[in-house]
Amino acid sequence: MAVTSNVNKNKFLSIAASVVLGLAAVIGLQACSSSGGGTPVVETQDASGLFKSGTANLNAGAVAPTDVRAFVHGGRIIAFSISSHILFDGQITNITGDDFTATVDLYETGEMTQADIAVTGKVTSQSQITGTLAGTGVGNGTFTLLFDNAYDTPADFVKVDNGGFEGKALTNYSFLTDVGTNPIDTIVIESNGDVLMDVVDSNPFTINCEFEGAATVPLVDKNLFGVTKDLKSTNAFNTSCVLTPLDPAIKFTGFMSQLSETGTDLDLIYAVTNGTYSSFGFLSAP
């Protein structure tokens, strides 16, 4: 009986010890999980999208637009403010978790003024992008871009083949105060993807340049057109395009999207650059 009792007692102690050791191991792992590093792992975010209603605080608050729009596709980011006539164009170089780095060029009144400005910030997929610019002057400051749900409406050449869009195409030879009564800048997109754009000085009325190019739809389910354009140097009136090179080998590239801000499918935003000059704007169907 004594032997049996001791055996049972030893078995009980072994089981109890195993339970205690098991609990200790679990508690230890939980402690390591909660305290190891102290920061939960953030899933890598996606910066792709169309953005509107963005804000910026640039050059120590001297420039603070509230109309910043942006395209982000394939790592390329083009952000611009029509009211301030500035545009940033560059490449997102890395996204780790929700942290990103980028390098952008700055265009002021249509002409590139700073290159390779470092950008750091945060991105949340289909929500917002915030960043800090490390350049000088207007190239220094912070910005916030807010995701535009219109991005998830598929691009459609049939909808944009409507006779054309009119508005203000901001370039190195156009000015925000140029608000004459004559027809202003126009973009015509045909259903086969051909793009024609007349850049016009409306006061007095003169055609400064005509671009001709093509649009593509890089993502079938997204509201984004890729644009490549040349100057039509064969047209005689291009001689008035004194500030822009008439070299068809110098490509303007960028993006455009169709919106419904003033009426269903009536609006178009676009932005293109060629490393020296930029052209961008918000246009509406007449």
CATH of the domain at 90: 2.40.160
Q: What is the pLDDT of residue 237?
A: 46
Quick one: 182 and 218 in the same domain?
yes
d(CA 212, CA 194): 8
d(CA 109, CA 107): 7
Quick one: 31 and 59 in the same domain?
no
Q: Which range marks the domain in which residue 238 is found?
A: 153-284
- Domain at 251, CATH number: 2.40.128
Residue 112 has phi, psi (to 5 degrees) of -70, 125
d(CA 86, CA 107): 6
Q: What is the pLDDT of residue 133?
A: 98
Q: What is the pLDDT of residue 187?
A: 87
Quick one: 33 and 137 in the same domain?
no
Quick one: 101 and 190 in the same domain?
no
d(CA 104, CA 95): 15
* Structural domain total, the chain: 3
Q: What is the pLDDT of residue 12?
A: 45
Quick one: 29 and 90 in the same domain?
no
d(CA 75, CA 45): 12
Quick one: 15 and 53 in the same domain?
no
Categorise residue 275: left if φ over 0, alpha if ψ from -120 to 50, beta otherwise. Answer: left
Q: What's the 3-state SS for 86-141?
A: EEEEEEEEEEECCEEEEEEEEEECCEEEEEEEEEEEEEECCCEEEEEEECCHHHEE
| Residue that terminates a domain, selected from 124, 151, 178 | 151
d(CA 243, CA 129): 34
The pTM of the full predicted model, rounded to 2 decimals, is 0.81
d(CA 107, CA 85): 8
Quick one: 66 and 11 in the same domain?
no
d(CA 262, CA 269): 12
226: nearest Cα among 237, 239, 217: 217
Q: What is the pLDDT of residue 35?
A: 42
Q: What is the pLDDT of residue 37?
A: 58
Quick one: 74 and 53 in the same domain?
yes
Q: Which residues of the chain have pLDDT under 50?
A: 1-13, 15-35, 179-183, 236-238, 246
pLDDT, tens only, 4-60: 444 444 444 454 444 434 444 433 434 444 445 567 788 999 999 999 999 999 999
Q: What is the pLDDT of residue 76?
A: 98
Q: What is the pLDDT of residue 205?
A: 59
